[in-house]
Amino acid sequence: MSKLMSPIALRGLTLRNRTVVAPMCQYSAIDGFANDWHMVHLGRFGMGGFGLVILEATGILPEARISYGDLGLWKDEHISPLARIVDFLHGQGAAAGIQLAHAGRKASTPVSWHGPQDLATEEQRRAVGYEHWQPVAPSAESHDPDNPDYQVPAALDRDGIRRVIDGFVAAARRAQTAGFDVVEIHAAHGYLLNQFLSPLANHRTDEYGGSRENRMRLVLEVAEAVRAVWPEDKPLLARLSVSDNAEGGWTIEDSVALARELKARGVDAIDCSSGGLAQGRIKSARAYQVPFAEAVKAGAGIPTMAVGVLGDIQVAETILENGQADFIALARGALDDPNWPLHANRELGGDYTLWPVQTRRVAEYDRVMAQG
């Protein structure tokens, strides 16, 4: 069996293979509720053979959302429609994960396809669940002063920080009730926890700012608090922007140090991405973020997930064979081919048993006919 398609265990969870659907915001919820779009969008990845499907950045509080269209898990009423998705994924043999997130100063931004003409009346705004609020952040500084989509946030005080931690804990409890197998803490892409980590966004002078130790404090407090309520046999992941890709910003060495501390607090794997601040840019290319996963894996001794233009099956297999990462995550690649694991399994010498039973015979018949 290929490395890509081999099972892997984290705590009490065994994934059928090492393919992962990375979180992808759909901006299609109203008041945080999952709906039929999310069900079909996510369900097809379970049918497509992925080992783990991670739901999009899900707001732990109403003000934690990137936009008014984000999923939420800040109230019990959100549980039931999410549980329906979890049940379907389980029925297809996939594990279900959810990324818990707080957007910080990147919150309350527009949904790109809803222009002013679509929000002109109260009826139109109500139809899409439009809301607008002031974001919060470590410091009262806009993500990008030159972009009017971003507001100047309010700096979090101690009560606000406590609200954030409690929000992550309550959302993790609800994720357990919904039946999720994995929780991922979102500390990447310029959102709140990443903002606390980065010296480019965090200019506090209290115990949450200044030194690297202080800037790591909130992420570690969140991880510790979530691990305390998340079942012992279920994995906890963290997504990091391993580098800000900007001078004076968060670095690979910083991420290795943070990953060590997260591991000590019960985090089981690091989902390795990069960037997210206005000051940082990196050119996308095939497997361009794999060195981040490799560095964190080697430096912190923790399993890592590689992400970023990894749709080439042979390249993905080689990354795992070389020990550069433990999981291969796709986002746009999964949108392009929701059946990527099914095709990868065949290309790497497997059979059709990964296909859903309803389509397996058709797939086998097509293969026989193609061979003449």
Q: Which residues are tagged catalytic?
A: 191
Q: Which of 347, 308, 346, 351 lies closest to 327 in space, CA to CA?
A: 308
Structure tokens given for 147: 């972009």
CA distances 70 to 73, 100, 129, 186, 197, Å, are: 10, 11, 10, 14, 23
Structure tokens given for 119: 């929000």
CA distances 110 to 207, 270, 339, Å, are: 33, 29, 31
Q: Which of 175, 293, 155, 270 lies closest to 219 in space, CA to CA?
A: 270
- Positive or negative CA dihedral for 43, 44, 48, 51? negative
Give 330's strand partners.
21
Phi, psi (5° rounding) for residue 237?
-110, 160
Q: How far apart are CA 257 and CA 270, in angstroms?
A: 12
Q: How far apart are CA 225 and CA 186, in angstroms?
A: 14
